[in-house]
Structure 1
Amino acid sequence: MIPVIIGYAILENYTRNLPLSPKAKSAFYKKHQNNIEILILGASQNRDAINPEFLSQKALNLAYPDQDYYVSSKLLEQIGPTLTSLKTVIVPISYGHFETAPNQKETWKNSMYRHYFGATISEKFTYFKDNFLYISFPNYYSTKINSHRNGKNTVDCNEYGYNRDVSTSAFYKLKYDSLSIAKSPVPITPLQENPAFIPENIERLEAILNYCSQQNYKVILLETPTTVLFKQQRIPEVLHRKDSILSLIKSKYTIQHIDLDTNNDYSIKDRRDNNHLSTQGAKKFTKRLNKIIE
């Protein structure tokens, strides 16, 4: 077993030293913990659309791909109290949030957040999976290790942990050719109606809103830009239920709803794909958002 243990120790050490976005965000968090005024939660849409570099107030962007209201609520409850200057919390309310399957309560992300931010988002503790990065998701980190060793690293973070690299994005790979993009499939979530997921997702969103109310944090429910192609793929019933939930939330809580999905002046190069903004688009989007916040 000794060679096996040594092998995993080497992999774990290599993983912890990879130039990953969460590592950069952790460094920013530890350095500016007492000055951060904005906390950004949610999934990849918020991660890609909001570059804190262009906000007047210091902001920590903890949005991550496929991240639901459950994980966001856990992060807010544990990291929020450590941000002594926190004033504003940005939460997504996209087309598919309420009818997408909630995150598993035992997720590999737990080890990531435990290591970088000291936060626990799993309801059940597993020693090896939760205390070590590599073991928590070997396939994911093996890919990152191989890319780094082969000089194909796709991470170019600024001090806020925003990844400026777009080389893996769908539109970049299609060379921003509008005809090729129009012919390509449009990934959209959910692919079908899932009203059974709504109660749990609403419960977790309300947990976020209630916590913010108790702490006197201002809340922004944010909708980020999507393409016309994306909008055409939406299921009308899902969209209707989402809008109905939004109306109910707005009548029940003191929040600000900012819908920036109605802007059609983003170019192809402003986007990573039909549902995510590129570095160029994020600069434009974040500056707009900053004016509203100010």
Structure 2
Amino acid sequence: MKKSIKNLFYFCLPLLIIYVGLEIFLHSLDYEPKTKNEYLEKNKNNLEILILGASQTERAINPEFLDFNSINLAASSQGIYPNFCLFKYFAPKLPKLKIVVLGMPFNAPNTPKEYTSPIVNHLNLAFYNVNTFGRATMPQDYLLFHSNQDYFSSRIQNYFRDGNYSNLNKFGYDTTRFYGAYQAANYNIGKINKSEIHIENEHNSKAIHNNARYLKKIIRSCKERNIKVVLYSSPTHFLYNEMRDTNLVYERDSLVKNLMEEYENLYFFNDEDNSGFEADLFYNANHLNPIGAKKASSNLKTFISKIIDNPKSF
């Protein structure tokens, strides 16, 4: 029996060493959360704006063009609950925080916390040390390769093909993400297949209730520190907007209206129907490319400047 256990140990030991080495290697690569956290740690005493949200907000706002000391922690599929977790962890560490921007596209209130990609939860834990899983952490939660073997295998392949080349600026924003469905169609609307546009139009009353609760916690916490909260919906292309469930739009707008009536530190900047964003500013139907992000960031900067200079005008 002892000999069998010993043989099993010697068999497993090389595999364990390989896996540990793999995790160390994966943690050494560049990721948006890693770069963002490095910038945040270096500048936390001067940051004035904290941006949270899902991929639409992540792609729309490049802090380079805000003219405020800002950090954008938005990430793909990151719903209101994980954003609440990030806010709860980081806001107390930012003594000069004036504005919290929270992505609020039309379907955000209906998006349950389970929608958040496991990769995002693992990266949040690995580089921010923030648990956004919605449960107690388990040992495997700290492992990157475990969360999505296909994705991290591709990262390894890219490393050996291109090296650890980073497309990220110092804020962790990807400045090269142009090639999506719209560039593939040469920005010709007639060549864009609407059936390939992905949109989440699912109603979820439980999610609305839970998300409203987390929103109120963020807003109340900010109010105690005299911090303003901006709910933000980034520009989306008219083809995408035509596909929105109007009931979900109404639910989002009603929730925001009720919250604004209750909290004087809350504002809503809805830029999603902005006709000034033509096809060549989009990556796909609901995400901007870096040029579109420059314009969207400028729009948000103007809005924020107004509420700082003259909050009673809203």
Q: Does TM, normalized by the shorter one, top 0.5? A: yes
Is the CA contact (8 Å cut-off) linking 2:53 and 2:78 kept in structure 1?
A: yes
Distance in 2 between the 1:181 and 1:33 partners?
Answer: 42
* C-alpha distance 11-173 of structure 1, shift in aligned 2 (>3 A): farther
2:310 maps to what in 1?
none
C-alpha displacement of 1:267: 2.1
Is the CA contact (8 Å cut-off) linking 2:78 and 2:120 kept in structure 1?
A: no
**2:59 paired with 1:48:** yes
* C-alpha distance 283-106 of structure 1, shift in aligned 2 (>3 A): closer
Distance in 1 between the 2:196 and 2:163 partners?
Answer: 26
Distance in 1 between the 2:157 and 2:297 partners?
Answer: 33
Mapping 1:189-268, distance limit 5 Å: 189-190=200-201, 192-254=202-264, 255-268=266-279
1:94 maps to what in 2?
105
1:126 to 135, 138, 147: 138
- Does 245-254 or 68-77 show the bigger shift? 245-254
Is the CA contact (8 Å cut-off) linking 2:77 and 2:115 kept in structure 1?
A: no
2:5 maps to what in 1?
none
* C-alpha distance 105-257 of structure 1, shift in aligned 2 (>3 A): closer
Mapping 1:40-119, distance limit 5 Å: 40-103=51-114, 107-119=118-130
Is the CA contact (8 Å cut-off) linking 2:182 and 2:283 kept in structure 1?
A: yes
C-alpha displacement of 1:140: 2.4
Distance in 2 between the 1:292 and 1:236 partners?
Answer: 26
- In the alignment, structure 1 segments of 5+ residues that lack a partner are none
* Equivalent AA in structure 2 for residue 44 of structure 1: S
C-alpha displacement of 1:5: 1.0
Q: Could you say what the CA RMSD is over the residues aligned between the two structures, in angstroms?
A: 2.1
Distance in 2 between the 1:76 and 1:138 partners?
Answer: 29
Q: Give the TM-score normalised by structure 1.
A: 0.92
Distance in 1 between the 2:251 and 2:117 partners?
Answer: 28
2:199 to 185, 188, 195: 188
Is the CA contact (8 Å cut-off) linking 1:155 and 1:164 kept in structure 2?
A: no
Distance in 1 between the 2:288 and 2:256 partners?
Answer: 23
C-alpha displacement of 1:99: 1.6
Q: Secondary structure at the match of 1:65?
A: coil
Deviation string for 1:15-38 (max 9, x for gaps)? 112122112112211211111110
Mapping 1:2-21, distance limit 5 Å: 2-21=13-32
Q: Give the TM-score normalised by structure 2.
A: 0.86
Q: Secondary structure at the match of 1:257?
A: strand
**2:167 paired with 1:137:** no
Q: Secondary structure at the match of 2:112?
A: coil
* C-alpha distance 193-155 of structure 1, shift in aligned 2 (>3 A): farther
Distance in 2 between the 1:233 and 1:245 partners?
Answer: 21
Distance in 2 between the 1:183 and 1:36 partners?
Answer: 40
1:161 maps to what in 2?
172
Distance in 2 between the 1:167 and 1:148 partners?
Answer: 20
